[in-house]
Structure 1
Amino acid sequence: MAAPAVYHDFSGTAQLRAQARSDQQGATREVARQFESIFIQIMLKSMRDTLPQGGLFDSDQMTMYQEMFDQQVSLDMSRNGGIGLAAIVERQLGGAPTSDASTDGSEMDQEADLPVRHSPADPFAPPGKQSPSLGAEEIALRALLRKADAAATPVRDRVEALAPGAVSASGAPAAKRHWRPAGMTEFIDAVRDHAARAARALNVSENLLIAQAALETGWGKKVIRHADGGSSFNLFGIKADQRWQGDRVARQTVEYRNGIARREMANFRSYGSLGEAFSDYVQFLQANGRYSDALQHRGRDEYFARGLQAAGYATDPAYADKILGIKARLDRADAERASTTLALKKTPQASLL
């Protein structure tokens, strides 16, 4: 039975239910295809979200029609070859036999860069929420998701590079100005070296500064942005008062007054790079006498974090606890990674063959 060719044909569900009774394998194939369609739709939405908003023709109606268009495009793509996700989902649902390529070291398994069984638990997952061992199909599915995201990134960067104002006043390409880390790992990789230099200047651990930047920006996903979508690279929520002579950007923020959260508009500092953000953070603390007690921490991260809160760096009453909680997770992840590396070094080569 043919699937509906129009996304908003609501009779498709009834047809699929009837097909499941007479042709279970065909119904499974259609479910997998529709799942792929939803995934493609999410990709399209994510790509649209990277483009600047607030144009002359932007409206709720325009957004609605764009969503309808993306839904139809995703359906058409899934019905005409798709991106290969439907076949994997179908195998997961038991609708198609696993091919030889998926069991004897296929390209997808190799690109996943993970063991087929007994994958390590996610060190960042809450207690009791660690991931179970992954099978070959789960690994292949995750690899495909990473490939899809990687394929979308160059396209997004090329679109941004060709847009008006694609080069900033400093000559930096738009792809860098529109820095938008895909997740926690990408954020950590991007800031690690800058955090290490700033940490040496402040005599704290780099993980403490990474944790603070992660808290302020939601692992880079909520970095304050200009109207054109360019990043302010403001990782530490430093506001721009009359003393600040650089670029600035206005943003609505949440402040706690007498224990009550309130939304306020404020101006924040804007930088040209991640390195500038970390350098200015160090200078900001060292030039403000109110943070002198926090800087007398003698290498104790907790004293530093609580000193910042006591000096009024942030109005959130749990600010220091949140930073220290994230830092503890980063420390555990580093320790587990170091332990695994050491164990591999001690393992005889013969036992790995």
Structure 2
Amino acid sequence: MITPTDSTASLAIDTKSIESLKQSAKQNSPESLKAAAQQFEALFVNMMLKSMRDATPQEGLFDNQQTKMYQSMLDQQLGQNMASRGIGLADVLIRQLSINQGSDDGTNGSGGVQTGLSDMVRTDLLQSMAPRTVKPSPRTAEEAGAAITSSSSSRPAHVKAFQEKLTSHAEEASRTTGIPAEFMLGQAALESGWGKRMIRTTDGTNSHNLFGIKATASWKGKTVDAVTTEYVDGVPQKRVEKFRAYDSYADSFRDYANLLRNNPRYEKVIANASDVEGFAKGLQRAGYATDPNYAAKLTNIIKTNFSS
């Protein structure tokens, strides 16, 4: 009886070990099956390494056809050595091929012709090759706010100050609307210039209007007149408009939440509140602002400064 050699422990370019593998495979033994599965695993690893090399720029001083040849030989041996430790693919193949060996008539045990991997083994194969990921659990408004605060340590001072002052109000509005607190903080930053361009009365009193909400005929609260830029047919024009005024930033966030929650034009904004770009584009489509680049500006601010 021919004893199959461990191909993963030999040189990848050793033709004798490959010939030995061919001879042992004819015996249909468990040992030869294992060796063949390991060799296939080595081939698979080598293909991955080759793809990685092809995706890497190779314009160095010493890069030429000779170095590429030796690099290829090195990658083949590296794949052989990695396969000797195992990545799970060989084990799946052994299980599948063992099933096939136990059915000489080419059926899968239920009378049907077996044309490929069984569903169970195919699942095992995909799971063994898939990257391990952990699905994040849903966060409450308080947890989202804590994430915003904890991830802001490396951000500019004006961003951190803006967050510390307004995060609690954004969390309250988030519970009302379902819109993530960081989305609202981003919009408040865009509309108010990070709190540096607040709308003020003639005597300098702060209107606390963080979101640039205008005072329409239905508004019964305090108002303040201010110059603003409106886009008409894509052309910016300066106008004096009447805006709402609040007693505090908390009132501003509450009124903003009520506006989006109760105005039918913003229904799709609420529906797409889980996605930054969907939220920003939804606001622009609903006519929140006339600036044609409003969605792009808002998306950039949120992703740059508030993404955890």
With normalisation by structure 2, the TM-score equals: 0.48
Structure number with bigger Rg: 2
